Amino acid sequence: QVHLVESGGDLVQPGGSLTLNCVVSGLTFSEFSMGWFRQTPGKSREFVAAISHGAARSAYADSVKGRFIISRDNDQRTAYLIMNNLKPEDTAIYYCAADKIYHGTFNYPYDYWGQGTQVTVSS
């Protein structure tokens, strides 16, 4: 059975930083592209960042470009989202997702999803 477990969400002040982790089990992690998405109540899911299976390609939403970094460690079966200079509008539940195909910035329904971790940016 496939499991994606996010962690690292927290309450942080504007301008602060957080790193989200996504630990994956039940699939061959190195064969899957990974994505991060976010959602707030009453809004549709928003693409944040994606990374290809070998980390050769990555993509970011314009709203986070230059502030967020997506990375992965295939030995640790973990994907990361490093978030810097956080803004109140970054407040959301963040989800990681896995898919065999790299979709770039496309808001695609990935094959597998985690349960999400809450990020709140507030003073």
Q: Which residues contact 2 (CB under 8 A, 6 or more apart)?
A: 24, 25, 26, 27, 98, 112
Collapsing DSSP to helix, strand or coil, 99 comes out as strand
Which amino acid, 97? A
Alpha-carbon distance of 90 to 1, in angstroms, equals 31
Alpha-carbon distance of 123 to 118, in angstroms, equals 16
Using CB atoms within 10 A of its CB, is residue 90 exposed (0-12), middle (13-18) or buried (19+)?
Answer: buried
In tens digits, the chain (123 residues) has pLDDT values of: 999 999 999 999 999 999 999 999 999 999 999 999 999 999 999 999 999 999 999 999 999 999 999 999 999 999 999 999 999 999 999 999 999 999 999 888 999 999 999 999 999
Residue-wise over 23-58: b if at least 16 C-beta within 10 A, else e?
bbeebebeebbbbbbbeeeeeebebbbbbbbebeeb
